[in-house]
Amino acid sequence: MEVWYSEVSVFPPMARKTKNAPVATIEPPQPQTRIPEKAAGSRDLLIAVAAIVLAVAFVFTQTGGFGLVGLDDTTFTTDNVFVTSGLTANGVQYAFRSFEMGSWHPLTWMSHMLDYSLFGEDPGAFHLENAAIHLANCLLLFFLARGLTGGVWPAAFLALLFALHPMHVEPVAWLADRKGLLATLFWLAAAMCWVRWAAPGGPRDRRFYFGALASFALGLLSKPTIVTLPFTLLLIEYWPLKRWTSWGEFAGRLPDKIPFFALAIGFAGLTYHGQQEAGAMTMYGDLGPGARLVNAAYGFAMYLAKTFWPAGLALNYPITPNPPMAAVAAGGAAAIGVSAVALWKMREWPALFAGWFWFLGTLIPTIGLIQTGDQAFADRYSYAPHIGLFAVVIAAVVRFVPSETLRSTGALAAGIALMVGLAWRSHVQTTYWHDAITQFEHTVSVAPAHTQGRQVLGKTYIKLKRYGEAEKHLTAGLATDPSDAVTHRTIAEVWFARGDKEKALASLDTAQRLAPLSALTQYNRGIVLRALDRYDESAAAYRKAIELGLLPETRAEAWFAMGMSLNKANKTDKAIEAFLEALKVDPYHYLARKNLAFAYLRLQDYVQSQREFELLLRTNETDPDVVRSLSFLRNRR
């Protein structure tokens, strides 16, 4: 079996004899200085595990003091009432029913709910949980590679590259990609079970087979990009397991993967449906096959470039209508050229074949051939694919660098220097995730045309009432992309906060024209129209927002605000209907019930009015409006 360690001993416990070595003089043994081989192996194992733990701790323990960056992570945490309620029966039902964020990932939802049950509203604890999952992934990868190759140090080097690469900061430091960490955790667990099941001379215990299948299912429930796992199992069976060595034998390895492929196809269909429902398939317009292929080649070039020179990293890299053709050509040439060499040399150098096609194949779901978002590529998508590429790099070093050189002090120093450099670069990259302003001021500094970054900065500065800075970033975003509806909607908040209601409405009307199915734009139009005393139009905007779909807490607010507008329009009957709808969504909405009570009182429906005021009194015994109104109703007879 071709393995890294058996061909070249990189850091062997004892030097090997060479063919021309002089005969050593026989001397009495020196037990006080000789380390038994088993003890040396245990020592190396402990050193490797300690190095991995310390590396992850150095880079990511700082996240215990971090907050949220305001892009998707709030949707998984503070903005979702089911999550903030902790792990409850209703929350579990929501997790399995929800296609929010365009995918079905109930296990990820439940992990965030569990965070709130365990830690309350402490985002630092949530971040440390991400770091702990990343550490678990690094250790699983180490033990998987060690078991497959028999070598401690090549496996440790692979795990340390995985632990410390700056492109892997994003999936760890961004709470929204908890799903990627969990999916990789179960991916590696499935691979470990499969190796125990499929290894030549292995126990053939079907518990390992079903353990791999169960782990795959859990990974799919975390993030559907794990659909490529059956493909990677076939690659592992080629190298290092050598369960098949020809395409004829390859066909014989397919039957026991059928349940895996069936699960993969089913979840791929669910994901496609969810992305269509979320509008992610057309978020950047109708890209034709040619444009998708060009962007895929460009993205692939960027993945390779940033792997070997991880500078200028940012959260998402937006699709560009005219990517640099040199990068497109380089990406296409690398994908085709290296693939051709890997196929040509697959018998002579199986590590290149298995590792390269792991990298290339696992990138396929996120490379942009099927558009599932507004990014051309993203650091987080390299997380699992990098395993294959790093394996190729290590195998190439072992194959082409003489063993004497690898055993030298210089090689050891170079390896340590590389890891220290990666650790420091990742530590610095992690600091950018401290909060929204730190993250996105950095993002727009390295990618000035990053419209999404400008939007988040605009929203963050609006919350801080720093309207000048919000306007600066949102105006820059519109200069880059005048057709971006979200930016028009966000800058309307700046105009409204400054008192320019007409300008705010004009921006919202533009946003509505650009994205007519946006519920949030209609909701904001309702707010502005009500402030302009255009109550009937305001109520109609709120109703349209509800029809287009809003989260439960926002839907309750929309019904309540609609009722207030209808009250102002002297349509009390309609206002009562709206308040009742708000209470159906949120029975504890105090202001909806209070205004409902006054609406009944205005219509002289004293029985219903008194009933509502008595319910309010149970919630707040000191509300003077409630006390005074109840006193009137009880004494009116």
Of the candidates 298, 289, 306, 296, the residue with the CA atom closest to the CA atom of residue 323: 298
Residue 549 and residue 278: Cα distance in Å, rounded? 11
User: Would you place residue 225 in the very low, low, confident or very high pLDDT band (cuts 50, 70, 90)?
Assistant: confident
Q: Check pLDDT > 80 for residue 139.
A: yes
Look at residue 282 in the predicted model and tell me its pLDDT: 46
Q: Which residue has the higher pLDDT, 631 or 29?
A: 631
Residues 6+ apart with CB under 8 A from 162: 137, 138, 141, 168, 386, 387, 390
Look at residue 287 in the predicted model and tell me its pLDDT: 66
Query: Is the CA virtual torsion 8, 9, 11, 15 positive or negative?
Result: negative
Look at residue 6 in the predicted model and tell me its pLDDT: 36
Q: What average pLDDT does the segment 273-283 reach?
A: 52
Residue 55, strand partner residues: none
Q: Which residue has the higher pLDDT, 203 or 344?
A: 344
Q: Check pLDDT > 70 for residue 603.
A: yes
- The SS3 call for residue 131 is helix
**Alpha carbon 556 to chain centroid, angstroms:** 29
User: Would you place residue 113 in the very low, low, confident or very high pLDDT band (cuts 50, 70, 90)?
Assistant: very high
User: Would you place residue 204 in the very low, low, confident or very high pLDDT band (cuts 50, 70, 90)?
Assistant: confident
Q: What average pLDDT does the segment 340-357 reach?
A: 96
pLDDT digits (tens, 9 = 90+) for 553-602: 789 999 999 999 999 999 999 999 999 999 999 999 999 999 999 999 99
C-alpha torsion angle, residues 299, 300, 303, 308 (rounded to 10): -140
Q: Check pLDDT > 70 for residue 472.
A: yes
C-alpha torsion angle, residues 377, 360, 223, 166 (rounded to 10): -60
Look at residue 376 in the predicted model and tell me its pLDDT: 79
User: Would you place residue 350 in the very low, low, confident or very high pLDDT band (cuts 50, 70, 90)?
Assistant: very high
Look at residue 552 in the predicted model and tell me its pLDDT: 73
Length of the chain, in residues: 637
Output the DSSP codes for 37-71.
HHHHHHHHHHHHHHHHHHHHHHHHGGGGG----SS
CA-to-CA dists, residue 487 to 187, 477, 510, 534, 549, angstroms: 38, 7, 10, 24, 20
Q: Check pLDDT > 50 for residue 394.
A: yes
Judged on CB neighbours under 10 Å (0-12, 13-18, 19+), 432 is: buried
Of the candidates 631, 637, 573, the residue with the CA atom closest to the CA atom of residue 603: 573
Q: Check pLDDT > 60 for residue 280.
A: no
| DSSP H or E stretch at residue 616 | helix 606-619
Residue 434 gets the label, from left (phi > 0), alpha (psi -120 to 50) or beta, of: alpha
Q: What average pLDDT does the segment 488-508 reach?
A: 97
pTM of the model: 0.85
Q: Which residue has the higher pLDDT, 368 or 572?
A: 572
Residue 446 and residue 609: Cα distance in Å, rounded? 59
Q: What are phi and psi of 377, to 5 degrees?
A: -160, 170
* DSSP code, position 375: E
Residues 6+ apart with CB under 8 A from 155: 48, 142, 143, 145, 146, 149
Look at residue 549 in the predicted model and tell me its pLDDT: 87
Q: Check pLDDT > 80 for residue 493.
A: yes
Q: What percent of the chain has pLDDT over 90?
A: 76
User: Would you place residue 137 in the very low, low, confident or very high pLDDT band (cuts 50, 70, 90)?
Assistant: very high
Q: Check pLDDT > 70 for residue 15.
A: no
Residue 379 and residue 364: Cα distance in Å, rounded? 14
User: Would you place residue 610 in the very low, low, confident or very high pLDDT band (cuts 50, 70, 90)?
Assistant: very high
Q: Check pLDDT > 50 for residue 18.
A: no
Residues 6+ apart with CB under 8 A from 39: none
Look at residue 151 in the predicted model and tell me its pLDDT: 86
Judged on CB neighbours under 10 Å (0-12, 13-18, 19+), 524 is: buried
- Helix count and strand count (H, E) for the chain: 31, 2
Residue 318, strand partner residues: 375
Under a CB-based contact definition with an 8 Å cutoff, are residues 163 and 134 in contact?
yes
Of the candidates 274, 444, 291, 297, the residue with the CA atom closest to the CA atom of residue 377: 297
Residues 6+ apart with CB under 8 A from 241: 1, 148, 195, 198, 199, 200
pLDDT digits (tens, 9 = 90+) for 509-536: 999 999 999 999 999 999 999 999 999 9
Of the candidates 513, 509, 511, 491, the residue with the CA atom closest to the CA atom of residue 500: 491
* DSSP code, position 571: -
Q: Check pLDDT > 80 for residue 134.
A: yes
Residue 375, strand partner residues: 318
Residue 141 and residue 384: Cα distance in Å, rounded? 10
Under a CB-based contact definition with an 8 Å cutoff, are residues 316 and 374 in contact?
yes
**Which of 278-287, 289-298, 339-348 is the most confident on average?**
339-348
> Average model confidence (pLDDT) for the chain?
89
Under a CB-based contact definition with an 8 Å cutoff, are residues 294 and 248 in contact?
no
* DSSP code, position 26: P
Look at residue 5 in the predicted model and tell me its pLDDT: 37
Q: Check pLDDT > 60 for residue 23.
A: no
Site of tokens 């009957």:
573
Type of residue found at 602: R
Q: Check pLDDT > 80 for residue 2.
A: no
User: Would you place residue 435 in the very low, low, confident or very high pLDDT band (cuts 50, 70, 90)?
Assistant: very high
Least confident of 20-29, 94-103, 344-353: 20-29
Question: In degrees, to the nearest 5, what angle opens at C-alpha 224 toward C-alphas 270 and 146?
Answer: 155
Look at residue 273 in the predicted model and tell me its pLDDT: 62
User: Would you place residue 16 in the very low, low, confident or very high pLDDT band (cuts 50, 70, 90)?
Assistant: very low
Q: Check pLDDT > 70 for residue 3.
A: no
pLDDT digits (tens, 9 = 90+) for 233-271: 999 999 999 999 999 899 999 999 999 999 999 887 777
Look at residue 25 in the predicted model and tell me its pLDDT: 41
Residue 243 and residue 235: Cα distance in Å, rounded? 10
